[in-house]
Each structure stands twice: as structure tokens, then as C-alpha cells.
């Protein structure tokens, strides 16, 4: 864990010599927006927020909200940086301290897809969730037809628990979601 100039704890997770997970900050806004804009059509297929109207102002709002939640310990949202450039995002969403659980969300730039970045980022995020955040259960949810995304929890030996029928509104229709889970005592990461 690093300390920033304000003295607040900042979790920096190093995946390897070229790749890291860095907590979101306002300085990421323009770079993150450019990445989203380049991937907008592809991301729209999977993510409800990836609309044609999603703007730089929306990115700034997202970063402010999640930087605040990171500081409060109610979520942990990071950018994935490879060779210094942002190539995606991953985070622990809505950390429930009473029940000690959360879910992970992630997306990656098309140019970095299929290279193991998201699997490595998930492995590190899960380990941090159990070791640093004291969680007991972590879920990954993805659309039933999102085979790339569902391959990640399978590689990480999550248990596929259920299909939630029409559980998420995606632009103009409801979609079914697969639910995968990992418990702290089963994690071998």
C-alpha cells in the first residue's frame, strides 16, 4: 500500500512490471473518456451506462463518486494501467460490511482483450477483497451470452450458482445474468 501526499491510504496493486491497478482519480478523466469513446460501440453491447450520450462530464462524475467511495471503503474502483496507459477498469462494487460480500465489475479495451489482463486483475482484486477488505463472498455477474466475461470466473474456479432471469435492463430490454461466486475459504489465489 502506498501513501499519497495527503496521507490517505492508496491501494496500488502491481500485477507485473508493466501492469497495475491504480485507484481512480480525477486526473484519469480525459484518458479514460478517450478509451471509453474508442470502445463505446463494443461496451454498449454489455454495459448499461455505455450509451452514445455518455460524456466527459459523466466520466468526471463517475471518478468523483468512486474516489469518494474508495476513501470511505464502500467500494474499490481502479483503472487497469499497462505500460502507463489506461486499458480498462475493474472494481469491487458496493462492499457490504455487514454480510462481508461484494461483486466485481470489469471491462477492457478491445486492443488488450484476450491477453490475460482481466483474469490477472480479477485474481488480484479477489485476493485484495479477501485479505485487505475482510470479505467472505465475492460474486461476478455477466450476461448469459457474454462468453468472454463468463470465462474469467470459470478460469478462477468460481462456482456458477444461478441464472437470474431478466435481472438487468440493458438499453431496450431485460437480459439474463449468470451468477458466479467465490468464498474466502475456497480461494486459492
Q: pLDDT truncated to tens, each residue of the chain (189 aa)?
A: 332 333 223 689 999 999 999 999 999 999 999 999 999 999 999 999 999 999 999 999 999 999 999 999 999 999 999 999 999 999 999 999 999 999 999 999 999 999 999 999 999 999 999 999 999 999 999 999 999 999 999 999 999 999 999 999 999 999 999 999 999 999 997
State the pLDDT at residue 8. Answer: 28
Q: Which residues have CB under 8 Å from 154's CB, separation 6+? A: 160, 180
DSSP symbol at 112? G
State the pLDDT at residue 109. Answer: 97
In this structure, the dihedral spanned by the alpha carbons of residues 134, 70, 178 and 170, taken in order and rounded to 10 degrees, is: 160
Cell numbers 481502479 correspond to: 78
State the pLDDT at residue 189. Answer: 78
User: Of 133, 21, 3, 10, whose CA–CA distance to 71 is shortest?
Assistant: 10
Cell output for 5: 501526499
State the pLDDT at residue 20. Answer: 97
Cell output for 12: 496500488
Q: Is 173 helix (H, G, I), strand (E, B) or coil?
A: strand
Please give the CATH superfamily to which domain 2-136 belongs: Gcn5-related N-acetyltransferase (GNAT) (3.40.630.30)
State the pLDDT at residue 10. Answer: 63
Report how far residue 98's alpha carbon sits from residue 118's, in angstroms, rounded to the nearest whole number: 28
> Which residue pairs, CB below 8 angstroms and at least 24 apart, start in 7-10?
8/71
Buried b (16+ CB within 10 A) or exposed e, 68-86: ebbeeebbbbbbbbbeeeb
Amino acid at each position: 500500500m502506498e501513501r499519497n501526499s495527503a496521507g490517505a491510504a492508496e491501494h496500488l496493486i502491481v500485477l507485473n512490471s508493466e501492469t497495475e491497478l491504480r485507484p481512480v482519480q480525477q486526473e484519469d478523466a480525459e484518458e479514460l473518456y478517450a478509451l471509453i469513446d474508442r470502445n463505446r460501440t463494443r461496451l454498449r453491447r454489455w454495459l448499461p451506462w455505455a450509451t452514445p450520450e455518455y460524456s466527459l462530464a459523466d466520466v468526471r462524475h463517475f471518478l468523483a463518486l468512486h474516489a469518494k467511495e474508495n476513501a470511505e471503503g464502500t467500494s474499490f474502483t481502479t483503472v487497469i494501467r499497462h505500460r502507463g496507459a489506461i486499458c480498462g477498469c475493474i472494481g469491487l462494487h458496493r462492499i457490504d460490511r455487514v454480510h462481508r460480500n461484494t461483486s466485481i465489475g470489469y471491462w477492457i479495451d478491445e486492443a488488450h482483450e484476450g491477453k490475460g489482463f482481466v483474469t490477472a486483475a480479477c485474481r488480484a482484486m479477489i485476493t485484495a477483497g479477501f485479505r485487505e477488505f475482510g470479505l467472505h463472498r465475492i460474486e461476478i455477474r455477466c450476461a448469459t451470452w457474454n462468453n468472454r466475461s463468463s470465462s474469467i470466473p470459470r478460469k478462477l474456479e468460481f462456482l456458477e450458482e444461478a441464472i437470474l432471469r431478466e435481472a438487468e435492463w440493458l438499453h431496450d430490454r431485460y437480459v439474463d445474468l449468470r451468477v458466479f461466486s467465490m468464498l474466502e475459504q475456497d480461494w486459492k489465489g
